[in-house]
Copies of this chain bind each other. A is one copy, B any other.
Amino acid sequence: MTSTAQTARVFSSDNAAGTAPEILEAVAREASGQALPYGADASSAAVRRRLGDVFEREVDVLLVSTGSAANALGLAALTPPWGSVLCHRESHINNDECGAPEFYTAGAKLIPLGGGDAKIDPDELRAAARHKAGDVHSVEPSVVSITQCTETGAVYTLDELRTLGSIAGEAGLRVHMDGARFAGAVASLACTPAELTWRAGVDVLSFGATKNGTMTADAIVVFDRSLTQELAFRAKRAGHLASKMRFHAAQFDAYLTDDLWLRNARHANAMAARLQEGFKAIPEIQLLGAAEANILFCRLPQQIIDGLLAEGYAFYHDRWEPGVARFVTSFATAPQDIDDLLQAVRRHIA
Contact = CB atoms under 8 A, between A and B. Distances in A.
A37 to B, nearest CB: 4
A136 interface: yes
Given A30-B18, A31-B18, A241-B66, A102 B97 contact: no
A81 interface: yes
Contacts of A341: none
Chain A interface size band reads: 35 or more
Contact of A210 (B24, B137, B243): B243
Total identical chains = 4
A69 B238 CA distance: 7
A42 B3 contact: yes
A35 interface: yes
Q: Which of A2, A16, A36, A332 has the most chain B CB atoms closer than 10 A to its own CB?
A: A2
Contacts of A181: none
A233 B80 contact: yes
Interface of A: 1-5, 8-10, 13, 15-19, 21, 24, 26-38, 41-43, 64-73, 80-82, 95-100, 102-110, 136-140, 210-211, 215-216, 230, 232-244, 246-248, 250, 332
5 contacts: A2-B43, A3-B42, A69-B239, A96-B137, A239-B240
